[in-house]
Amino acid sequence: MELPVISNAAIPNSGCRSGATADRGALAHLPDHIRVRVQDHPCYSEEAHHYFARMHVAVAPACNIQCNYCNRKYDCSNESRPGVVSELLTPEQAVKKTLAVAAAIPQMTVLGIAGPGDPLANPERTFATFRMLSAQAPDIRLCVSTNGLSLPDAVEELARHNIDHVTITINCVDPEIGARIYPWIFWNKRRIRGVEGARILIEQQQKGLEMLAARGMLVKVNSVMIPGVNDEHLQDVSKIVKAKGAFLHNVMPLIAQASHGTYYGLTGQREPTQFELQALQDVCAGDMAMMRHCRQCRADAVGLLGEDRGEEFTLDKIDAMEIDYGAAMAERARVREAITAELEMKRALKAVPKFEEAATREETTTRNLRVAVATKGGGLVNEHFGHAREFLIYEAGPGECRFLGHRKCTPYCMGDESCGDGETVLGQIIAALEGVEVVLASKIGFEPWNGLESAGIRPNGEHAMEPIEEAIRMVYDEMAAAGKLDTVVVDTVARAA
């Protein structure tokens, strides 16, 4: 089973890799100059997201549609989901913040505008921000995400500002299904409800996608998986958007808690399980390059994917910073070059065929193994178990290893002296790690170690600071050699397929 991941699409395969193959890489169909545009973008490249940072600036408050998973009232600083922001910025403030962040975090390659409303429903604020940034920080890539309703009208201007990537959220191509997701849209000076509103929205999304693709702009499609509403339908969506020129499909799980005050949250619409999400991603992957490392960021997120350093860059804190913008840009160029060189070296190493290993592996019939990894970036096993806010899940087989996604959790140890809620939290972490047999972390405390073991999960702290995929390969080979992977207990791949 081949599951292309864009990061190492064109690399000949051997050993442990993120699932791409040489001949059928997810981005193999793209010309080189486009692939280059993607490989240092954390939101597009699974490999890049360990190294490069991004930020969103919240300049776009207005929206022109209502989604049943969104509540425009909420604005909590302790909540993390799309559409939530703490501080709305003017374009001038947004530029100031972007330059401050890009000076403090030289790994920053990408600035996106994603809300909290719809960026293209706020064209003046959105484009004013882009215009200033492309003049003042030309090395930073600009992206925008949209619900698509105003997209056809904006394509011209997006192209003019040299916007690199556009993300369209497309949850359906069938207006009947759309009516269960979007209660209304604002169109031609009036609110249009139900199937008619959904029909117009879908038409605009598809038209916008075609127009962007015709101009050679990179389009990613986001879809929210809503069990019982569009879960089966998303397979068709995936095929259609690929045919129209989208290069990546990101199927995300619905977030629906009653405490968020959304229609879905309050009416008991359930969220998909991690297994259901992965199964759908696997099915769609037959037709379309899938993104699996999305963290469903806030519209004002800052830093590496999975972390949010927004608190360090509030407006008053930025005012107090002294920044040498020229030096910051030079430092970014240096850091970017170093990371790119490191990644190229890693790709080259992976490309060296290991014939002997491959030959011996083919004879064995070991089963697949799911491994959870605690990392804070850099592609390394470098986070303490107790500090991890999420685990990256990989599935290793005899000849390959692929990234499946991430599972969020409350850290076992919140950093203060007492880990008072440790036991309950550990229970939640173990539940989040369903299906996982090994946990890799740079360090694992005595108590969680025992808890994990009694739950049938092997804690492993022997691979601290090692590259994730190499560490997984070593663990896999070790367990295979010890005969621990011989018997096919649960064939997870077969189930997913």
Partner 1 sequence: MALEIVNACIGCHACEPLCPNRAITAVMKSGQPLFAIDANKCTECLGDHELPQCAEICPIEGAIVDEYGEPLNPPGSLTGIPFALFEQIREAECHR
Show the site string, 86-105: x = touches partner 1 by CB under 8 A, - = not: -xx-----------------
Q: Read out DSSP for 344-380?
A: HHHHHHHHS--HHHHHHHHH-----EEEEE---STTB
With contacts defined by CB under 8 A, name the span among 139-147, 187-195, 240-248, 334-342 that binds partner 1. 187-195
117 versus 377: smaller Cβ distance to partner 1: 117
Let me know the angle formed at the C-alpha of 208 by 207 and 212, rounded to the nearest 5 degrees.
Answer: 120
Pair 226, 276: CB distance under 8 Å? no
- The answer to whether residue 184 forms part of the interface with partner 1 (CB under 8 A) is yes
182 versus 476: smaller Cβ distance to partner 1: 182
93 versus 410: smaller Cβ distance to partner 1: 93
Q: Which of residues 51-80 bind partner 1 (CB under 8 A)?
A: 61-64, 66, 68, 71-77, 79
315 versus 497: smaller Cβ distance to partner 1: 315
Q: Which of residues 232-261 bind partner 1 (CB under 8 A)?
A: 258-261
317 versus 354: smaller Cβ distance to partner 1: 317
Beta-bridged to residue 168, according to DSSP, are 146, 221
Nearest by Cα to 264 from 90, 27, 71, 63: 71
- The answer to whether residue 321 forms part of the interface with partner 1 (CB under 8 A) is no
Residues with Cβ within 8 Å of residue 463, at least 6 apart in sequence? 381, 440, 471, 474, 475
Give the nearest distance from C-beta 63 to partner 1 in angstroms: 6
Give the nearest distance from C-beta 183 to partner 1 in angstroms: 5
Pair 291, 79: CB distance under 8 Å? no
- The answer to whether residue 195 forms part of the interface with partner 1 (CB under 8 A) is no
Give the nearest distance from C-beta 88 to partner 1 in angstroms: 7
Say which DSSP state 103 is in: H
Give the nearest distance from C-beta 477 to partner 1 in angstroms: 49
- Residue 162, both tokens: 């040299």
CA distances from 152 to 144, 158, 183, 197, 412 (A): 14, 10, 22, 16, 47
- The answer to whether residue 444 forms part of the interface with partner 1 (CB under 8 A) is no
Helices and strands of the chain, counted as H and E runs: 16, 15
63 versus 381: smaller Cβ distance to partner 1: 63
33 versus 190: smaller Cβ distance to partner 1: 190
Q: Read out DSSP for 118-184?
A: -GGGSHHHHHHHHHHHHHH-TTSEEEEEE-STTHHHHHHHHHHTT--EEEEE---S-HHHHTTT-SE
33 versus 73: smaller Cβ distance to partner 1: 73
Give the nearest distance from C-beta 72 to partner 1 in angstroms: 5
Interface residue with partner 1 among 121, 211, 291, 457 (CB under 8 A) is: 121
- The answer to whether residue 191 forms part of the interface with partner 1 (CB under 8 A) is yes
- Radius of gyration of the chain from Cα atoms? 22
- Residue 61, both tokens: 């408050």
**What residues line the site for partner 1 (CB under 8 A)?**
61-64, 66, 68, 71-77, 79, 87-88, 117, 121-122, 124, 183-184, 186, 189-191, 258-261, 263, 266-267
